[in-house]
Amino acid sequence: MKAVYFDSAATTKMRDEVIDVMTNVMRNEYGNASSTHSFGRSSKVLIEQARKTIAKKLHVSAGEIVFTSGGTEADNLVLQCAIRDLGVKHIITSKIEHHAVLHTVQQLERTCDITVSYVKLDAHGQVDYENLETLLQSHGKTLVSLMHVNNEIGNILDVKRVGNLCQAHNALFHSDAVQSVGHYELNLQDVHIDFLAVSAHKFHGPKGVGFAYIRKNSGLRSLIFGGEQERGIRAGTEAVHNIVGLEKAFTMAYANLNEDREYVLDLKRHFISELRQAFPKVTFNGLSGDLEKSTYTLINVCLPIPPEKALILLFQMDLKGIACSKGSACQSGSNKGSHVLNEVLCEDDLKKPSLRFSFSIFNTKAEIDYVISVLKDFITA
C-alpha cells in the first residue's frame, strides 16, 4: 500500500536538517538557560540567537519575540492578557477563526465584562472590510483578532488593510499567522500588527514550540506565572532544542521560499486541473480553488458523491494510505463538522463530503495522480 501524506496544514514533516540540529542540542547543550554557569550561558546564547534570527526576518526587535509552546498558547497569551492588562472591552473576530481563538474569545465573553462582535463574511468566507470598519466605530477599547491565512479554506486576509483600519480607529490588531509564517514574507514595519501567533510545526519544524510577536511597550504581562524567563512574559524553563529547531526550520523556509512556493503551487495547480477533469461537478470551498486569492498550500474540495458513500469516504482514503482531512485536524473527533464550512456552504453542499488536501515540498504529482485514481475508483464503483 502507498503512503501519501496530504495533511500538511495539520502538521508538516520535519526537515532532516532540523532533526540534526535538535539532536545536537539535546546531546551537547543540556544546560538550563537560566543558570549562570557556562552550561546555562551556552544554552542562553542559542535562545537569544534564535530570537534575533526571527526578529530580523520580521523586521522587529528581538525583545518583541516571545517563545511559547505553539500557536494556541500564543493566541491565549494575547487574548486573555489584552483584557486583563490593556483594558480591552470589545473583541472583533470572525466565525471561521481557529478554535484557539474562537474558544478563547467565547470563554472570555462568558467570564469577563466584554463585548464580542463577529465581522460579516461574504459567500466565500472573505471578511467584509466595510463592516469591520463599522464595528470599529463603537464599544470602546477594541482588539481585532483575524487570522492571516485560514487553515481550512485557505483564504488570505488583507492584513495591511486591516492593520490600517485598526490604526485609524486606535484599535489593537492580533493575527493568528500559524498558516502563513514560513510560507509568506511578513514585514511588520510595513504592516501594522500588534500581536502575532506562530507555530513551528507548520513549516517543517518541531511540534510543541512557537512564538508570539508582541509589539514593544504594549503593556502585556505574563499569562503563566513562575520564573522570569522570556523577559518575564512567559514563565517556564525553555526547551532549547525546540527553539533551535524552530530557528532552523524558519531560516530554511525563507532561504528557499520562492523555489519552494513555485514547486508547491505547481502541485496545487495540477491537483485542481486533475480534479476538474475527473469530476466536472467538483467545487472548491471558500477561495481555495483560486490560485491568486488563496494560499498555495491547500485546497478544500466538495465532491459530488451520494450521501451513502460520503460517510465512508475518509475511511476509504485512509485504507488506501492517503492522509487528508475533513476540516481541520483539531476537529477530526467532532461530530459537529467543520465550523468553517458551516459558515460558507449552503445546506445542499453541506450534505456532500468535503476534504482538505494540503501540500508541501515533500509531495509529488505522482501522489496527486494516485489520489485521483483512488477517488475515481471509489466514486464510480
**Among the listed residues 191, 197, 196, 184, the one whose alpha carbon sits nearest the alpha carbon of residue 166:** 191
Judge whether 330 counts as a catalytic residue. yes
- Contact status, residue 143 vs residue 171, Cβ threshold 8 Å: yes
Annotated catalytic residue: which of 166, 324, 330, 346?
330
* Rounded Cα–Cα distance for residues 196 and 189 (Å): 13
Q: Is 34 left (phi over 0), alpha (psi -120 to 50) or beta?
A: alpha
Residue 327 has a pLDDT of: 58
What percent of the chain clears pLDDT 90, i.e. is strictly above it?
A: 90
Instruction: Work out the pLDDT band at 333, boundaries 50, 70, 90.
Output: very low
Which pTM value belongs to this model? 0.95
Encode pLDDT of 283-310 as tens digits.
Answer: 999 999 999 999 999 999 999 888 778 8
CA distance linking residue 355 with residue 141, whole number of Å = 39
For 4-12+256-380, CATH number out of 3.90.1150.10, 3.40.1170.60, 3.20.20.100, 1.20.210.10 equals: 3.90.1150.10
Domain 16-255 has CATH 3.40.640.10: yes
Of 196, 150, 154, 175, nearest to 289 by C-alpha is 154
CA 296, CA 156: separation in Å to the nearest integer? 10
Number of residues written out for the chain: 381
pLDDT, tens only, 131-176: 999 999 977 899 999 999 999 999 999 999 999 999 999 999 999 9
Each residue of 304-324: pLDDT tens digit?
Answer: 888 778 888 989 999 999 999
Judge whether 4-12+256-380 and 16-255 match in fold: no
Residue 1: predicted pLDDT: 66
Mean pLDDT is lowest, of 263-267, 293-297, 374-378, for 374-378
* Structural domain boundaries in the chain: 4-12+256-380, 16-255
